[in-house]
């Protein structure tokens, strides 16, 4: 494939219906693996550890000894600490920023009395959470922080982590998992990891909620187990949509596109601009930036996908409408009046404003969570947060007078529903 055909500037107005669907109904290759994933999930559910070991051989080329690697994580952490390894300092600083941001999300229990009715809401953590930490083609200590820290902030009792097996699991990932505060760590990856956390096996303790990002197999498995357990949402192959006007620096835009493209061949990266010169300069900067990168092949595949591209809008208003329909995991706005553009957009996982807010800052260390909905999920829900790990319940206490005040309303509605015993339970108290 030539560099030219890899990335052309296309006008939004000229997109074919098929191409519009590729952007707006993108599925990052997940649909194509749903049947395989259903079989993997079924086998882990029925065969437990045996299936985990078999899939590790098949998909990770690893002959797994101990599935439980909790001790290995503690050891990796101790080695980093003993050596004053700067990577542990980075993990600690990132975790501190993520913790501070997520502590602000802890809701307070409350009670208030309205006309003799004392009403309230309580928030309590779930007991057992499972966090998937990806690690197939890159290492993701940052995702360990993003998944485990909010669970700990919420007060979850038992945080279990699954991460792909390896002859030697990445020590930075293990150290981050331990630093963030996991209780148990299992070496199991992909769809089989999600199934193991959801249903439990001889070794893996089943959890109530499975969270975390991953590739298309991981994401399809979360869709499969949803219903039997809670999940956060589908956080699949990474995406970025950049809105850029003529004031944007095309080199910065290109750098952000290349960064998210290197995650996965199924990643989607899009820039939309109302300025022809900027569009052409972004394409040039992306093409110039590909060769020689460590993950060049992955980047090329991601850029070649129908759901990636550089688009020309007739105005920033048209660009905004595109962004709203696209509902990006990451929305970067590199434009003159970024706040005004953001004001007009609801559907977004996380917004990055201005030239000095690259998505990579949020990926690692700014504080907000990087586990975010992909494939348009931002139309329906937000990213991972402390609330993901909390349940709420309501409380009410009425005094006699408050009940008397409401009795006509309640009994009228109860009788209208044909539920006479409900009405009687009110009258009995007021006789």
Ligand X SMILES: N[C@H](CO)Cc1c[nH]c[nH+]1
* Integer Cα distance of 104 and 344 in angstroms: 26
CB under 8 Å, gap of 24 or more: what pairs does 226-232 form?
Answer: 228/198, 228/199, 229/197, 229/198, 230/126, 232/371, 232/384, 232/388
Nearer to ligand NAD, 105 or 407 (CB): 105
Interface map 32-71 toward ligand NAD (x if CB under 6 A): ---------------------------xx-----------
Instruction: Give me 149's structure tokens.
Output: 């820290």
Q: Say whether 158 is catalytic.
A: no
Using CB under 5 A, pick the residue from 363, 371, 373, 375 that binds Zn ion.
363
Which residues touch 331 (CB under 8 Å, ≥6 apart)? 240, 241, 242, 243, 323, 342, 345, 348, 349, 350, 351, 352
> Hey, what's the torsion of the CAs at 176, 356, 138, 31, to 10 degrees?
110
Nearer to ligand X, 176 or 198 (CB): 176
Using CB under 6 A, pick the residue from 217, 252, 352, 364 that binds ligand NAD.
217
Asked if 390 and 124 count as a contact pair (C-beta separation under 8 A), the reply is yes
* Integer Cα distance of 359 and 252 in angstroms: 11
Question: Is 215 annotated in some ligand binding site?
Answer: yes
What is the DSSP pairing of strand 128-132 with strand 110-114? unpaired
Positions in 220-239 near ligand X (CB under 6 A): 238
Using CB under 6 A, pick the residue from 27, 60, 232, 363 that binds ligand X.
363
Q: Which stretch binds ligand NAD (CB under 6 A): 121-129, 233-241, 278-286, 320-328?
A: 233-241
| Tokens 């947060």, residue located | 385
Nearer to ligand NAD, 191 or 342 (CB): 191
Interface map 293-332 toward ligand X (x if CB under 6 A): ------------------------------------x---
Question: Is 110 annotated in some ligand binding site?
Answer: no
Give the H or E element holding residue 244.
strand 239-244
Can you list the alpha helix ranges (DSSP code H) found in 122-165?
141-154
**N-terminal to C-terminal alpha carbon distance within the chain:** 85
Positions in 183-212 near ligand NAD (CB under 6 A): 189-191
Using CB under 6 A, pick the residue from 95, 267, 269, 302 that binds ligand NAD.
267
Q: Say whether 329 is catalytic.
A: yes
Among 102, 262, 329, 370, which one carries the catalytic annotation? 329
Nearer to Zn ion, 48 or 237 (CB): 237
* Integer Cα distance of 360 and 310 in angstroms: 20
What is the DSSP pairing of strand 158-163 with strand 9-11? unpaired
Which residues touch 310 (CB under 8 Å, ≥6 apart)? 7, 8, 9, 10, 270, 271, 272, 273, 279, 282, 283, 286
Among 102, 178, 330, 370, which one carries the catalytic annotation? 330
Instruction: Give me 53's structure tokens.
Output: 């070991």
Interface map 142-181 toward ligand NAD (x if CB under 6 A): -x--------------------x-----------------
Positions in 329-358 near ligand X (CB under 6 A): 329
* Integer Cα distance of 139 and 173 in angstroms: 7
Using CB under 6 A, pick the residue from 55, 140, 199, 252 that binds ligand X.
140
Question: Is 417 annotated in some ligand binding site?
Answer: yes
In the DSSP assignment, the letter for residue 158 is E
Interface map 251-290 toward ligand X (x if CB under 6 A): ---------x------------------------------
By CB under 6 A, name the binding residues for ligand NAD. Answer: 59-60, 134-138, 143, 164, 189-191, 213-215, 217-218, 235-238, 263-264, 267, 329, 370-372, 374
Which residues line the annotated binding site for substrate?
A: 238, 260, 263, 330, 363, 417, 422
Which residues line the annotated binding site?
A: 132, 192, 215, 238, 260, 263, 330, 363, 417, 422
By CB under 6 A, name the binding residues for ligand X. Answer: 140, 142-143, 238, 260, 329, 363, 370
Report the catalytic residues: 329-330
């Amino acid at each position: 494939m030539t560099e030219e055909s890899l990335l052309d500037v296309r006008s939004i107005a000229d997109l074919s219906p098929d191409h519009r669907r590729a952007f707006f109904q993108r599925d990052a290759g997940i649909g194509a693996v749903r049947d395989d994933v259903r079989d993997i999930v079924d086998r882990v559910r029925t065969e437990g550890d045996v299936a985990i070991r078999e899939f590790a051989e098949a998909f990770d080329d690893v002959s797994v000894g101990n599935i439980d690697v909790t001790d290995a994580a503690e050891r990796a952490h101790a080695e980093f600490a003993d050596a004053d390894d700067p990577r542990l300092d980075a993990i600690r600083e990132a975790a501190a920023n993520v913790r501070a941001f997520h502590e602000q999300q802890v809701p307070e229990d409350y009670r208030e009395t309205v006309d003799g009715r004392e009403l309230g809401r309580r928030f309590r953590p779930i007991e057992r959470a499972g966090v998937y930490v990806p690690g197939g083609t890159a290492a993701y200590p940052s995702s360990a922080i993003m998944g485990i820290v909010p669970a700990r902030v919420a007060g979850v009792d038992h945080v279990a982590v699954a991460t792909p097996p390896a002859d030697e699991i990445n020590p930075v990932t293990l150290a981050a998992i331990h630093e963030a505060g996991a209780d148990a760590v299992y070496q199991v990856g992909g769809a089989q990891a999600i199934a193991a956390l959801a249903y439990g096996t001889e070794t893996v303790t089943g959890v109530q909620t499975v969270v975390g990002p991953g590739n298309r197999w991981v994401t399809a498995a979360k869709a499969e187990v949803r219903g039997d357990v809670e999940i956060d949402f589908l956080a699949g192959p990474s995406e970025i949509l950049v809105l850029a006007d003529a004031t944007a620096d095309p080199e910065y835009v290109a750098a952000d596109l290349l960064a998210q493209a290197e995650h996965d061949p199924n990643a989607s990266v899009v820039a939309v601009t109302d300025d022809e010169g900027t569009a052409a300069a972004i394409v040039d900067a992306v093409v110039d930036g590909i060769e020689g990168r460590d993950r060049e092949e992955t980047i090329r595949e991601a850029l070649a996908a129908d759901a990636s591209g550089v688009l020309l809008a007739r105005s920033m208003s048209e660009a905004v409408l595109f962004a709203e329909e696209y509902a990006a995991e990451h929305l970067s706005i590199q434009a003159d009046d970024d706040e005004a553009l953001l004001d007009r957009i609801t559907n977004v996982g996380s917004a990055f404003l201005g030239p000095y807010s690259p998505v990579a800052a949020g990926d690692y260390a700014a504080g907000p969570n990087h586990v975010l909905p992909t494939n348009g999920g931002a139309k329906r829900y937000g990213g991972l947060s402390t609330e993901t790990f909390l349940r709420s319940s309501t409380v009410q206490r009425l005094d006699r007078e408050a009940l008397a005040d409401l009795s006509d309303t309640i009994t009228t509605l109860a009788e209208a529903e044909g539920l006479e015993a409900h009405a009687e339970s009110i009258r009995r108290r007021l006789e």
